[in-house]
Amino acid sequence: MSVLSRERIIEFMNKEKIEERLVITPLINLDESLDPSSINVRLGNEFIIMKQQSFPILDISNKEELSQRIEKYQDKVRIDFQEGFVLHPNHLVIGSTFEYIGLPDNLMAYVIGKSSWGRMGLIIATATKVDPGFKGCITLEFINEGQVPIVLYPGILIAQLVLHETLGKSKYSGRYSHPTGPQFPNFSKDYENWRFWYPDPEKY
For the chain, list the domains and their CATH numbers: 2-180+189-198 (2.70.40.10)
In angstroms, the Cα distances linking 119 to 43, 56, 88, 146 are: 18, 33, 16, 9
Task: Tell me the mean pLDDT in the region 95-100.
Answer: 94
**CA dihedral over 34, 35, 38, 40, signed as positive or negative:** negative
CA dist 192 and 108 (Å) reads 29
In the chain, where do the E strands start and end? Answer: 2-3, 23-25, 34-35, 38-42, 46-50, 74-78, 85-87, 92-102, 107-113, 122-124, 129-130, 135-144, 150-152, 157-165
Give the per-residue pLDDT at 123. 87
Assess whether pLDDT exceeds 90 at residue 40.
yes
Q: What is the pLDDT of residues 134-193, one digit of tens each?
A: 999 999 999 999 899 999 999 999 999 999 998 877 676 565 566 666 665 565 666 666
Task: Tell me the mean pLDDT in the region 9-38.
Answer: 94
Give the per-residue pLDDT at 115. 85
Going by pLDDT thresholds of 50, 70 and 90, the confidence category of residue 119 is: confident
Average pLDDT score, the chain: 82
pTM: 0.78
Task: Tell me the mean pLDDT in the region 42-68.
Answer: 69
Give the per-residue pLDDT at 92. 86
**Cβ proximity of 93 and 176 under 8 Å:** no
- Alpha carbons within 13 angstroms on the beta-carbon side of residue 192 total 1
Q: Helix (H, G, I), strand (E, B), or coil: what is residue 166? A: coil
Going by pLDDT thresholds of 50, 70 and 90, the confidence category of residue 117 is: confident
Q: Helix (H, G, I), strand (E, B), or coil: what is residue 176? A: coil
- Alpha carbons within 13 angstroms on the beta-carbon side of residue 186 total 9
The answer to which of 74-78, 106-110, 200-204 has the lowest mean pLDDT is 200-204
Give the per-residue pLDDT at 26. 94
Assess whether pLDDT exceeds 90 at residue 99.
yes
Instruction: Provide the residue type at 1 as one letter.
Output: M
Q: What is the DSSP letter of 38?
A: E
- The alpha carbon of 6 is separated from its chain's Cα centroid by a whole number of angstroms, namely 22
Give the per-residue pLDDT at 124. 82
CA dist 93 and 141 (Å) reads 6
CA dist 31 and 156 (Å) reads 15
Q: What is the pLDDT of residues 68-97, one digit of tens each?
A: 555 566 778 899 999 999 999 988 899 999
Residue 192 falls in which region: left (phi positive, over 0), alpha (psi -120 to 50) or beta: alpha
Read off φ and ψ for residue 75, nearest 5 degrees.
-120, 145
Query: Hey, which residues are catalytic here?
Result: 141
- The alpha carbon of 42 is separated from its chain's Cα centroid by a whole number of angstroms, namely 12
Residue 81 falls in which region: left (phi positive, over 0), alpha (psi -120 to 50) or beta: beta
